[in-house]
Each structure stands twice: as C-alpha cells, then as structure tokens.
Structure 1
C-alpha cells in the first residue's frame, strides 16, 4: 500500500518553462562562465551549488585551480539573486494534474512530501506564493489538514540528488519506514536516480516538465507519465491489489 508520494518541485509540481535554466544561464553569463544550454539542462534537479562546482571544474580543469572556489562562490551568489528575484516577481502555478493529484492523495490519506534542489529560502518563496506553506511548522512538517505534509530541500541533507537523502528524510519525519510504500516523482534524470537509490516502490517521471520522454527513457524510470494526473490510476491500481 502506498503511504507517501515524494515529488520534485520545479517542473514536476510547479510549472517550469525552463525558467531555472534561464536563471543559470544568466548567472553564468554575468560571471564569465561559458556553458551550453544542453549542459545546464543535464544538471537540472541537482543541488544548485554543486552545479557551479562541477561547471567551473570543467571550465578550469581542476578544483585545485587557484580561482576555482572564488568563481564558484561568485556564480552561485549571482544565481541566488537572479533566482529569488524571478520567483518573487513572476507568476507561479501548479503543473497540469497537480491540484487533482493532491486532492486525491488527501482523500486517500496518502502523505505528500516535496523535495527540491533549491535551498530553503527559494523553496519557501514558492511554497508561500502557492499557499502550500500554510500549516507547516519550522521544520516544514505539516499535518493531514495541510496541503502538503513535508518539504525537504537539498541544503537540509548530507547530499542532494541523485542521492536518496531527501526522500529518506521525508520518510523519517512522516513516519513511513518502508520504501516499498513510497512513490517518487520527478522530471529529471537525477529525480529518477534518487528514487531508485532510496528503494522506492516506483520512481516515475513526468514528461511535461523540463525533459522530454526521449531524454528520460534512457534513465529507466518505472513509468513515464504525461502529467501528474496519470499517477492517480497508478496508485489506485497498486492499492487495490494490496
């Protein structure tokens, strides 16, 4: 029986028309980092600071380069400024099927946890503007009456995706010890990998986010869904055969 669904934010539950990638590209351009759009896309879902660590390592050839740390910090600082301004000044909407899925999960008593490669400040800006922060305590854990039951960011665990730690923290705070009772959902390769690393019953991907079906299929998700709405019959099928 499914007791918990963990979902990524940007591109999965929060509409993303490649805005995060655009914020990365703007920060890169402003700080002298030359990187292709395809390379930025390939790193979506990962902890944002580690993305700049990797990109500057690739550019400079080594993390021992005397300017590596300075350039990483500068790019990341500019990125946070661009990203925060974007989410404070642009419209934010749930993805197709997200409200219906949340309603269904509430009706079934299945907990909802949002995981993200964003740091806490940005995650809270998004949650606040969507009304999903309501009912969450200081640890960002809610109750059965709150819209979501937990929010976990990559800066709150040992390592972000593709590692399983965000999913495992959500399981811990919500009292779901068995990963066979968890479905993980995302829209990037690292989302799929984190769900598999956590041992989730299913690690599925939606194709209406930042990646197309042909970009996600090689990473072997358990299912490819057109939208979050398609998760409803899948859960119904699993729980009907328990």
Structure 2
C-alpha cells in the first residue's frame, strides 16, 4: 500500500462544529433574496441537507430553478448570513480536530482544508479558530475549478502540496459529497465522519466511517497507510 503523504479535510461538520449554522444561513439567504419563494421551504431544506458539502452556487442554482443571477445573489447572501451567525454564536472546532491535525503534520503528513464556502468565509473561520499556521493550505471551489463532488479540490490540493500520487492522499468529510469527491479523485483512503450532516448509511461508500475526525490518524495506522505511531484506537464501521 502507498503511504499517506497528504490528508484533505472538509471544514463545517468535519473539523469545525456546525450545529445547524449552514442550514440557518441557507434559509436566511433564501428568504432575503426571494429564492425561498421558488419552492416550499421544507422541500428546499431537504435538498440542502442532501447536497451538504457541495459548492453553494451549485445548490442555489438548483433552488433558483437554474436562474444563475438569482443563485449568485443568494450565494453572496449566504456568505453574509453565515458570517452573521458565527459572529452571534461563535465558532468551535470539532473536539480534538486541531490536535489531530498537529499530530499528522508532526508525522510529516501535509494537511489541506477544503470547503464549499467562498474564500472570505473560509478564511474568517480559520482566523477565528487560530488555524492559519496549523494547516498547509485551505481551498474553496473558486481555487480549484469545480466544487464537490467533482475531484478538483482534492486534485488541486495534491498539485499544490506536491504529493507523489492520488494513492498517497486521504480524504475525510461528513457528507456523501465528501466521500464521492475522494472516490472521483482516486484517493488512496476515504473516510466519512459522523459529526456532521450525514448518517452512517449515507457514508457507506467510504473506506471507513469514523465517530470523529480525531480518529483519523489511528484509522490510517490501522489500514497500514502510515508508519507513524498513532496509539489511539480508531472507531470504524
């Protein structure tokens, strides 16, 4: 097996606590821009949940019935609403996430954060958490070409960090689109985590489903993908 050189991690729901903030931001944006009038909100909310992790412009394009101008306005409103909510409620890491990232990097593994958020929101989250120097890189769809479930974010992370092959990349996220983007990119290891949007059965296409991203180093060791000694046992399906 190829040893893992790069770990690509989702943000909201995977490394950053969500607690419904993304759904709240979608609803505020839809209401403020009129997109909420395009379909019943319960139907729209279900679509938001089903597509969690995908690029926000793609989600709003569907909700707006293909109206790109409306979708763009709603996406901008989403970023503003998300910033409002985290200013009101604060932002916290998933327990153990920062320590897990530090352990990976201490073992010589590079770490890249990816998200469906625009760079301004992504960077505000990273700064609020004090993670600017914790990770090697952070990417949004605009940095890569296409958002999830396309492979672009993972492949851009590989190119930017100089990993030797896709088999040397591990991907972890809390949504089916995180799992699918890892699969499409050909990543050597794909993990789903249960701290965010999707349940175990929805994440079943992953190589492992973990209770938390904090279990990832041990899962890599368990699967023979790193020579580092990560002692804590992983909880996998």
Q: Is residue 150 from structure 1 mapped to residue 118 from structure 2 by the alignment?
A: no
Other-structure match for 2:125: 126
Other-structure match for 1:107: 106
**Aligned-residue offset at 1:182:** 0.9
Other-structure match for 2:26: 24
| Runs of 4+ in structure 1 over 4 Å off | none
Q: Is residue 38 from structure 1 mapped to residue 46 from structure 2 by the alignment?
A: yes
Distance change in 2, residues 1:25/1:147 (3 Å) = same
TM-score by length of 2: 0.86
Question: Is the CA contact (8 Å cut-off) linking 1:159 and 1:165 kept in structure 2?
Answer: yes
Of 188, 208, 224, the match for 1:223: 208
Other-structure match for 1:141: none
Q: Deviation string for 1:79-110 (max 9, x for gaps)?
A: 22212222334311110231231132122111
Distance change in 2, residues 1:229/1:76 (3 Å) = closer
CA distance in 2, matches of 1:99, 1:80: 24
Map of 1:55-204 to 2, 5 A cutoff?
55-57=63-65, 63=66, 68-133=67-132, 146-204=133-191
The more displaced of 9-18 and 98-107 is 98-107
Other-structure match for 1:12: 14
**Aligned-residue offset at 1:77:** 3.0
Distance change in 2, residues 1:70/1:181 (3 Å) = closer
CA root-mean-square deviation: 1.7
In the alignment, structure 1 segments of 5+ residues that lack a partner are 58-62, 134-145
CA distance in 2, matches of 1:69, 1:175: 35
**Aligned-residue offset at 1:200:** 0.5
- Secondary structure at 2:171 match in 1: strand
Question: Is the CA contact (8 Å cut-off) linking 1:119 and 1:154 kept in structure 2?
Answer: yes
Question: Is the CA contact (8 Å cut-off) linking 2:79 and 2:118 kept in structure 1?
Answer: no
TM-score by length of 1: 0.84
